[in-house]
A and B are shown apart, each in its own frame.
Chain A
Amino acid sequence: MAAQPITTLEALQWIAGLFEESVDHIAPTTPRDAIAAWDSLGILTLMAGLDERFDIRLSATEIGQLQSVGAILDILANRKCLTDLAAG
């Protein structure tokens, strides 16, 4: 079943929930280092979450590029999973 696209705001809420952070603390500019749970276990949680919810499997190169919340949004946009943000 195709994943249901969501808004950027909903994506930020989803990312905040994934990393057990307050939504106020999550913005596209938030770097990976600022999120305590974005560690070795956190990246696996993110990958499993993207797979389960959006049917997205990340490549090793994409994982290496994940340095901020914005990079997660870019991946969602590139895979047409965001309704209000086109891929750049």
Chain B
Amino acid sequence: MTWPTSLSDIQPYLADGIGIPQGRLLRCFHPAVTAHIPDILALRQRVFKRDAPGGKPSWDDARYWHWKYVAQPRTATAPLPYWVFEKEGEIIGGMGLQHVQVDVHGKTYPAIWGCDIVVHPSYDTRGLGVFMNLVFQETFPFFLVLGTNARSTHMLAGLSHRLPSLRSYKKLIRTGPALEHRLGSRVLGKACAVVLDPLYALYDRSHRVQIPPGLTFERIEKSDPRIPALCEQIAPHTRVRVRRSTEMLAWRFFDNPRWHYECHGALFEHTLCGYVITRTDGKGGAAIGMIVDWLCGIPTRNPPRSGAAGEAPGPLDEEATPALAYLHALLFQYGVGRLAAQGVSTVYSHACGRVAEAALKRLGFIRDAAADSPFFVESCPREIEADVLSAPNWTLTHGDSDID
């Protein structure tokens, strides 16, 4: 038998399962207002407690939720980007969304990422998660989900187009912590690391990429005026990717209350041609580092127009694959160096995109398939379906994922 995958298919059974008349289901699921926030946070706490009995989230969830859904760009001019399912005044389900723009072969489309789906434990496995996803599919013409947990992955696979995952890569910086873990002995691990670290450094040196003359790196701060120009130049040459913008980067990374991010830019002859965003886990001696997000393009020069005062920077050519892979590798290498200087022992990165993944491999990153994040396109406009549902077109980074 096939899965029931339309709202009309599932509504009679959801109505039976949660005890609400079928005709009222759609009215029960609606955008939240600020008065709902305490109940939403209380529901999240119940779900956290079910998933990790005795444990508590390591972050300030109220502050995190406020950042994600009240401070999210566009929230001031639109309803709260979080929907609630109410039964007799009680919130028994919720689902968040993030407004983004997706560049598809030179055109920009509004889209949403779905995130933070929760169902009250008393109504778990009744079909409410399916219902909320299907309502979003019908409400939002371009609806994406990345980084679901195991509880939702099978359900989403039945409702959506599953594209290749955001693939996980890792690179060892210091062997000690890994050896300590593997050998089960701190002393033995440290002793082995004394011998192995110099050998590993030699191996790592063979993966280093030469920095070309004229290329420099510098710290990029929130709202750096050079970021919009970089984003605008790259967007027309992108196959399919969520648009980066000053506003998005400021909110997603610089204002994020859960993690501390650093952004560094690569400048070629003083022109910004890329950035890389890194973070450490911020705890326990910052043992883990992550290359979270990046954007780069190869600067080219347009022939000067007749009467123009001089040579202007031209578009950045994403098709210039070897040069672009080289620039990606330079950015990642700089990011790894920053993280190593902060004391991390392992650097992770998650990527979907031929050029970025080739660059990671070139630097000695290895695949860690167990940490891949599944990616789903739940709905998209018909005119771009062929482009959007073609996996090789996508560029994704961890910056696109739901978790933080």
**Contact yes or no, A41 B127, CB < 8 A:** yes
Q: B122: nearest residue on chain A (CB-CB)?
A: A64
| Interface: A87 (CB within 8 A) | no
**Contact yes or no, A60 B17, CB < 8 A:** yes
Residues of chain A within 8 A of B9, CB atoms compared: 44, 48
Known contacts A18-B1, A49-B1; decide if A41 and B158 are in contact (CB<8 Å). Answer: yes
Q: A44: nearest residue on chain B (CB-CB)?
A: B127
Q: Knowing that A51-B13, A52-B1, A60-B19 are A-B contacts, what are 11 other residue pairs whose CB atoms are under 8 Å apart, sorted by A's residue number? A: A17-B1, A32-B125, A36-B154, A38-B125, A44-B9, A44-B17, A47-B127, A48-B1, A48-B13, A49-B1, A63-B126
Residues of chain B within 8 A of A36, CB atoms compared: 154
Residues of chain A within 8 A of B119, CB atoms compared: 40
Total contacting residues, chain B, CB less than 8 A: 26
B5 to chain A, nearest CB (A): 8
**Contact yes or no, A40 B4, CB < 8 A:** no
Please give the residue numbers on chain B whose beta carbons come within 8 Å of chain A beta carbons, in ascending order: 1, 3-4, 9-10, 12-14, 16-19, 119, 124-130, 151-152, 154-155, 158-159
Residues of chain B within 8 A of A51, CB atoms compared: 12-13
| Interface: A58 (CB within 8 A) | yes
Known contacts A32-B125, A45-B3, A49-B1; decide if A40 and B130 are in contact (CB<8 Å). Answer: yes
Residues of chain A within 8 A of B155, CB atoms compared: 39-42
**Contact yes or no, B125 A48, CB < 8 A:** no
Please give the residue numbers on chain A whose beta carbons come within 8 Å of chain B beta carbons, in ascending order: 17-18, 32, 36-45, 47-49, 51-52, 57-60, 63
Residues of chain B within 8 A of A49, CB atoms compared: 1
**Contact yes or no, B127 A43, CB < 8 A:** yes
**Contact yes or no, A40 B13, CB < 8 A:** no
Residues of chain B within 8 A of A42, CB atoms compared: 125, 154-155
Residues of chain A within 8 A of B3, CB atoms compared: 41, 44-45
Could you jot down 18 A-B contacts, CB within 8 Å? A37-B154, A39-B125, A39-B129, A39-B151, A40-B119, A40-B127, A40-B155, A41-B158, A43-B13, A43-B127, A44-B10, A44-B127, A45-B3, A45-B4, A49-B1, A51-B13, A52-B1, A58-B17
With most chain A CB atoms within 10 A of its CB, the pick from B13, B14, B19 is: B13
List the 7 closest pairs (A to B, CB-CB), nearest first: A40-B129, A47-B13, A44-B127, A41-B155, A60-B19, A41-B158, A40-B130
**Contact yes or no, A48 B129, CB < 8 A:** no
**Contact yes or no, A39 B154, CB < 8 A:** yes
B250 to chain A, nearest CB (A): 36
**Contact yes or no, B17 A63, CB < 8 A:** yes
Inter-chain CA distance A52–B1, complex, in Å, is: 10
With most chain A CB atoms within 10 A of its CB, the pick from B126, B129, B152 is: B126
Q: B14: nearest residue on chain A (CB-CB)?
A: A44
Which of B125, B151, B159 makes the CB contact (< 8 A) with A43? B125
A61 to chain B, nearest CB (A): 9
**Contact yes or no, A63 B16, CB < 8 A:** yes
Known contacts A32-B125, A60-B16, A63-B17; decide if A44 and B1 are in contact (CB<8 Å). Answer: no
**Contact yes or no, B19 A44, CB < 8 A:** no
A45 to chain B, nearest CB (A): 5
**Contact yes or no, A41 B1, CB < 8 A:** no
Residues of chain A within 8 A of B124, CB atoms compared: 40
Inter-chain CA distance A59–B126, complex, in Å, is: 11
